[in-house]
Amino acid sequence: MSEGTERTETAADVRDVVVVGSGVAGLSAAVYAARADLEPLVLEGPEPGGQLTLTTDVENFLGFPEGVGGMELIQRGKEQAKRFGAEFVHGTVEDASLEERPFELELANGDALRTRALIVATGASARWVGADGEDELMGYGVSTCATCDGAFHRGDDVLVIGGGDSAMEEALFLAKFADSVTVVHRRDELRASDIMAERARDHERISFRWNAELLEIHGSQAEGVTGATLVSHPDGRPKSKLEAGGEVDREDVAAGGVFYGVGHVPNTAFLEETPVELAESGHLETLDGMTTETAVEGIFGAGDVMDPEYRQAITSAGTGSMAALDAETWLDAQELELEAEAPAAAEAQADD
Ligand code: NAP
């Protein structure tokens, strides 16, 4: 509100439920909240649709025996939420006042939102490696998304950093375009599931550099990535050995692209100065037991932002639905409390 404009707050200014995040967790929360007539507002942030929009086929989401495209799953989820009355708005939360209710969210465009219940489903974003040159070359041959940028690397030799499912998925996707894909992993054992690891190992254009890490990326914004410096140590984790003053092997390799698949960090920066509790890893803390409630009454967490453990599309959908059910129960309890208080307040007024 601009200075000097006086306005009386009406009930209509305060939403029942705002869902921050439009990935699978946020969408699932929106479907449940909308079906409960809570008319949720879903904020689509800087990565609308979340991580699934950057993935290829999802093969383990129940009900899709042939697999389903990540983007398709998200689009269908959004249609489903809209069908029941969820409203979608583009907006990134920059600041949040969560000490008092209704909660207030300040968006990057200056708009403010008020809500009785808040579902945080902001997910997690791709982690960067911390190699020299990555700041300059991200988007110029360095990428966190093979499905977005892989086609630019037809005929290239590319590096994939990481040893989990994301790295295997990136490697397999890139192998459709690149001449060679080298997976650089800091240990000699993959973290990836057996099925993904086997597919990557069996692929003729994919090879592995074990016990190796990316130290520096070479190139420029004009010519793109031209190569990289890798360090290695027979016991693994060479960078930490280097930082501790140990000896490591160094090698310069030619590469036309570098893809990161080293996991994700939860998107909780906007909650740092609030009473919502965050774990050391940055994840939103929920209360013990089978609940999405947080330490702040009326605030609920869903999906990767609160789950450092499972991080699956299906579990995110699950916690999304739980958050909406928890929010609905909490809002109902608030209503009952208000109703119970109303006669007592009227009586007190009459006595005056
Ligand atoms: P992740 O399982 O946490 O794996 C991250 C990988 O990156 C690990 O191998 C880790 O090494 C490495 N790493 C982390 N920081 C690094 C750094 N600074 N430098 C070099 N290497 C680094 O993450 P994810 O692969 O993104 O998978 C996350 C979750 O999503 C998992 O539950 C996974 O199953 C799921 N997922 C499933 C699919 C699928 O089924 N199609 C696809 C993608 C993801 P260490 O092993 O040494 O820790």
- 347 pLDDT band (50/70/90 cuts)? confident
- What digits encode the pLDDT tens for the residues 124-176? 999 999 999 999 999 999 999 998 899 999 999 999 999 999 999 999 999 99
**Cα–Cα distance, 14 to 9 (Å, whole number):** 8
Check if 148 is active-site.
yes
- 12 pLDDT band (50/70/90 cuts)? low
Average pLDDT, the chain: 94
Q: Do 212 and 182 contact (CB within 8 A), yes or no?
A: no
Whether the CB of 166 sits within 6 Å of ligand 1: yes
134-260 and 5-126+264-351 share a CATH fold: yes
Minimal-distance CA residue to ligand 1 atom 30: 311
pTM, two decimal places: 0.82
User: Is the pLDDT reported for residue 302 higher than 50?
Assistant: yes
- What digits encode the pLDDT tens for the residues 207-243? 999 999 999 999 999 999 999 999 999 999 999 999 9
Check if 235 is active-site.
no
User: Is the pLDDT reported for residue 3 higher than 50?
Assistant: no
Domains of the chain, by residue range, sit at 5-126+264-351, 134-260
Dihedral sign from CA coordinates of 326, 329, 333, 334: positive
Residues 96-103 have a mean pLDDT of 97
Q: What is the pLDDT of residue 333?
A: 97
Minimal-distance CA residue to ligand 1 atom 21: 162
Q: State the fold for domain 134-260.
A: FAD/NAD(P)-binding domain (3.50.50)
How close is the Cα of 188 to the center of ligand 1, in Å?
14
Which is the catalytic residue, given 16, 149, 165, 307? 149
Closest Cα partner for 261 from 188, 166, 173, 178?
A: 166
Which is the catalytic residue, given 135, 148, 188, 332? 148
Kindly report the CATH number that applies to the domain delimited by 5-126+264-351: 3.50.50.60
How close is the Cα of 125 to the center of ligand 1, in Å?
12
* Paired tokens of 79: 């249609």
State percent of the chain over pLDDT 70.
96
Which residues make Cβ contacts (< 8 Å) with residue 266, sequence separation at least 6?
122, 123, 124, 281, 282, 283, 284, 304, 305, 306, 308
